[in-house]
Amino acid sequence: MGARVFPAAAPFTFMALVELRNVSKIYRVGDEEIRALDDITMDIEAGEFISIIGPSGSGKSTLMHILGCLDSPTKGTIQLDGTMIHNASAVHLAAIRNQTIGFVFQFFNLLPKLNVLQNVELPMVYAGVSSRERRDRALASLQMVNLENRSKHRPSQLSGGQQQRAAIARALVNNPRIVFADEPTGNLDSHTGEAILLLFRQLSEQGRTIVLVTHDPEIATVTPRRIEIRDGKISAHPDVRLAGLNRTPAPAAAPNG
Ligand code: ADP
Ligand code: MG
């Protein structure tokens, strides 16, 4: 019978998960123009663990917001998972953000009046998932970050590292194709920060696509690929220019002594 093997709208299989082409972002503040991003072209492949690194004010958060469809470019295009973002309707865009992308932020952004379980359930409320399924999936997500024993706690009753793990569970709960983390260890002590980085590495080893944004070259050593931005442009030779980046990523978490 006439089953169609190749639907006309199927994305090409060689397409990267995220494709940015000649993206610029210009902010206008009064009479001043701030070129936060200047002609950025880059791809992120499915399954990659990649860091975006650069000093404060270089454009990292702006780039992450555009990669994650929270903001749109002034010039250039972004294609996410086969969809041209500037052609998508507002409703479609909201659905893409909710189902394709997870975000983790420096200050966790948990809602203080909800307990951990309710915070993790929130993205599924927006996605229209039934309450029973929400609970099951939120608990499974909390298990992934080893926090199921704190599900009834309020955020204020948790340590910083636990709050960030709750935020990571929330980012994972809709099983997104890609997770963006903007300075996820920036508000944590170094020991707790390392545990969070280890968690990201484990998630990466399970096949998740993860983009880590950081100003700290030491943190960027956990990812196999790094993109450095300076003054809104991609820097050609990050590994040569940045102190601390001339070593290979540390071996996986096996104890060596
Ligand atoms: P980073 O995350 O690397 O610190 P940002 O992407 O936050 O850098 O900012 C890049 C540049 O754009 C900075 O000069 C910053 O002041 C400016 N900028 C960021 N957001 C805005 C905004 N909403 N309005 C005006 N300027 C902004
Ligand atoms: Mg930033």
- Give the ligand at the shortest distance from the Cα of 186: 2
For a mutational test of ligand 1's pocket, the pick from 27, 29, 66, 228, i.e. the residue with the most ligand atoms closer than 8 A to its C-beta, is 27
Q: What is the pLDDT of residue 240?
A: 44
Q: How confident is the model at residue 36, as a pLDDT?
A: 98
Low-confidence ranges of the chain (pLDDT < 50): 1-3, 7, 240-241, 243-257
Quick check: 73 and 80 in contact, CB under 8 A?
A: no
Q: Answer whether residue 2 is part of any domain.
A: no
Q: Give the pLDDT score at 238.
A: 54
Domain with 76 in it: 18-241
Q: Quick check: is 128 in a domain? A: yes
Domain assignment present for 4? no
Residues with CB under 6 A from ligand 1: 27, 29, 34, 36, 54, 56-62
CA of 67 to the centre of ligand 1 (A): 15
**Confidence at residue 2, expressed as pLDDT on a 0 to 100 scale:** 47
> Over the stretch 90-112, which tens digit does the pLDDT of each residue have?
899 988 988 899 999 999 999 99
89 assigned to some structural domain = yes
Atom of ligand 1 nearest to the CA of 213: 2
Amino acid at 47: G
Q: Which atom of ligand 1 is nearest to the CA of 59?
A: 6
Indicate which CATH number applies to the domain containing 113.
3.40.50.300
At 13 the pLDDT is 55
Cα-trace Rg, the chain? 19
Q: Is the residue at 114 inside a domain? A: yes
**Ligand 1 nearest-atom number relative to CA 55:** 3
Q: Is the dihedral of CA 138, 141, 145, 146 positive or negative?
A: positive
Q: Which ligand is nearest to the CA of 70?
A: 1
Cα-to-centroid distance, 103 and ligand 1 (Å): 18
pTM given for the model:
0.86
Residue 99 located in a structural domain: yes
- Cα(108) to ligand 1 centroid in Å equals 20
Burial class (CB in 10 A: 0-12, 13-18, 19+), 194: middle
In a domain? residue 237: yes
| Domain contains 6 | no
Domains contained in the chain, number: 1
**Predicted pLDDT at 100:** 93
